[in-house]
Amino acid sequence: MALARIEALRCLPDEAPATPPVRVRVTAAEDRERYDRFLASHPAGSLLQSWEWGTLKERHHWEAVRLLARDGVGRVCGAASVLCRTLPVGGAILYLPRGPVLNFRDSRVLDAMTTALRRLGERQHAVLCKIDPYVSPPDPLVVRALTARGFVAGHRRGHFEGIQPRFNVIVPLTGSADTVLARCHPKTRYNIRLSARRGVQVRRGHREDLVSFHRLLMVTCERNGFAERSLSYFAELWDALAAKGQMELYVASDGERDLAAGILFLFGNKAVYAYGASGNEHRERMAPYALQWAMIQRAVELGCTSYDMTGVPRRLQESEPGYGLYRFKRGFWPEVSKFVGEMDLPLHPTRYRLWNLVEPAYWGGQVWVRHTIRSLRANHEGARTHPTE
C-alpha cells in the first residue's frame, strides 16, 4: 500500500511548479543605484545600510561588501551592506548596522541571505557575523526565525545595549507640523515657544558651520560623558552626504553666538537626528528646543513619515547624568521604540566563545583610542597656541 501511494505521488501532474530560488550575489558598482533605490523604498531601509555609508566606513579600517537578493524573476527582495574588519588577534568580524534589509517572515529570502553571510564569513575567516536589523517592536516570529538559522542574542552592552541604540524615540510625522506639535508634552511646546520669544533663531548651516557645531559638540560630550568624534569625521560626512540631500546641518543662535547645533540625516522617508550639540551658557534660552522643532518642521516639509531622535537608555534614574537628555527627547514623543537588537551568527564556535569574553574590551578600546587621540591633539594644539617661553 505504501509503495502504491509513493508511485501515485510520483505520477501527479506538475501543476504547481516549484518556486524559483532566491539568489544573493555580491553587488558591483554598476548596481549601486538599484541597491540604494531598494533601500530607500523599503520600510526597514536605513542610511547605515546605504552604499555611501559603506564607502565612508572604508576610510576607517572597514571593508564594505554589498549583497543583493533577487527572486526568480529578477526583482530585488533583500539587501545588505556588510562591514568587514580584521581583528588584532586574527580572524575578522562582519557587522551589518541596521541590516540586513528584507522581509524576515519570508523564509526563502532569509535562508538565502543567511547562506550568503555564512559564505562571506568563511572567505573572510570571520569569527562571527553581527546583524542589527531595523525591526521594531521585536517580533517573536522574527526572533524565532533567526534563532532557527543559528543566530543568538548579542551582547547588551552599556546604557544603549548595542553599537546602535536599542531604544529610540521615533516621532511619527502623520498630519501637519501643527499636529505633530500638539502631540508633544505641554512643557516641550512651552519651551519651543519660549525660545522664540527669547530671540533664538535657527538657520540652515553650511560646511564652514561644522566648526561651530564641533565646538558645541565637545562641550556636550564632556557634559554627558559621550564619545567624541573629530571635526575631520564630520567634514567627511558632509562631503559624502550633503550634496546628495542626505545630510543637513542646523544651527540655533541668539544673534550674537551659536547656542546649539544638530545634524539631520535624510534617507527615503526617514529623518534621523543623528548628532546634537549645545553649550553650557544661556541655557535659559531653550535653544535645543528651537533646534529640534526646526528640524522636525523640515522633515514634515520633505514628506518624511518619521523623525528618529535616536537612542535613550532602557532604564535611567532621575539622579543619573543622562536623565535630562532622556526627558528632553521624550518630551517630543512619549513612546520609546524598542528594536530587536544585535544578533550574532557564530561562524567559528571556539573563537566565538573567546570573542564573547573580550568583546566589551574591544569596543571599549575603540572609545578609549578616540579619547586619547583627542587629548593628544588638544595638547598639541594648545602647545602651538601657547608656546613655552
pLDDT in tens, 364-384: 555 555 555 555 544 544 444
Region of 101 (left: φ > 0; alpha: ψ -120 to 50; beta: rest) is beta
pLDDT tens column, 181-195: 999 999 999 999 999
* pLDDT for 124: 95
Q: Which residues pair with 343 in a beta bridge?
A: 131, 153
- The three three-digit cell numbers of residue 314, written as one number: 532602557
* pLDDT for 119: 97
d(CA 172, CA 136): 14
pLDDT tens column, 340-367: 999 999 999 889 988 888 877 765 555 5
Selection from 331, 336, 345 nearest residue 313 by Cα: 336
For the chain, give the mean pLDDT: 87
CB count in 10 Å sphere of residue 44: 20
Share of the chain above pLDDT 90, in %: 70
* pLDDT for 227: 80
pLDDT tens column, 24-74: 999 988 999 999 999 999 999 999 999 999 999 999 999 999 999 999 899
Q: What is the dihedral of CA 389, 384, 278, 325, to 10 degrees?
A: -90
d(CA 164, CA 359): 15
What are the residue boundaries of the structural domains of the chain, listed by start? 20-161+340-371, 167-338
* pLDDT for 370: 52
- The three three-digit cell numbers of residue 242, written as one number: 550633503
Q: What is the dihedral of CA 292, 297, 302, 308, to 10 degrees?
A: 40
Encode burial over 302-324: b for 16+ CB neighbours within 10 A, e otherwise.
eebebbbbbbbbeebeeeeebee
Q: What is the homologous superfamily of the domain 167-338 according to CATH? A: Gcn5-related N-acetyltransferase (GNAT) (3.40.630.30)
* pLDDT for 385: 42
> Is pLDDT above 50 for 1?
no
SS3 5: helix
pLDDT tens column, 220-274: 888 877 788 999 999 999 999 999 999 999 999 998 999 999 999 999 999 999 9
Instruction: Give the residue ranges of DSSP H helices in the chain.
Output: 2-10, 32-41, 51-57, 107-123, 140-148, 177-183, 186-197, 210-224, 231-241, 287-301, 323-330, 349-385
Mean pLDDT over 287-310 rounds to 97
* pLDDT for 47: 97
Q: What is the dihedral of CA 150, 37, 162, 180, to 10 degrees?
A: -130
pLDDT band at 3 (very low <50, low <70, confident <90, very high): very low
Least confident range from 18-22, 206-210, 258-262, 306-310: namely 18-22
* pLDDT for 75: 94
Mean pLDDT over 333-339 rounds to 92
pLDDT band at 326 (very low <50, low <70, confident <90, very high): confident
pLDDT tens column, 88-130: 877 899 999 999 999 999 999 999 999 999 999 999 999 999 9
pLDDT band at 13 (very low <50, low <70, confident <90, very high): very low
* pLDDT for 303: 97
CATH for 20-161+340-371, options being 3.40.50.800, 3.40.630.30, 3.30.505.10, 3.90.1150.50:
3.40.630.30
pLDDT tens column, 147-178: 999 999 987 665 666 788 899 999 999 999 99
d(CA 238, CA 201): 23
pLDDT band at 18 (very low <50, low <70, confident <90, very high): low
> Is pLDDT above 80 for 4?
no
> Is pLDDT above 90 for 219?
yes
Q: How far is CA 206 from CA 108, 231, 248, 300, in A?
A: 46, 14, 8, 21
Say if 20-161+340-371 and 167-338 have the same CATH topology. Answer: yes
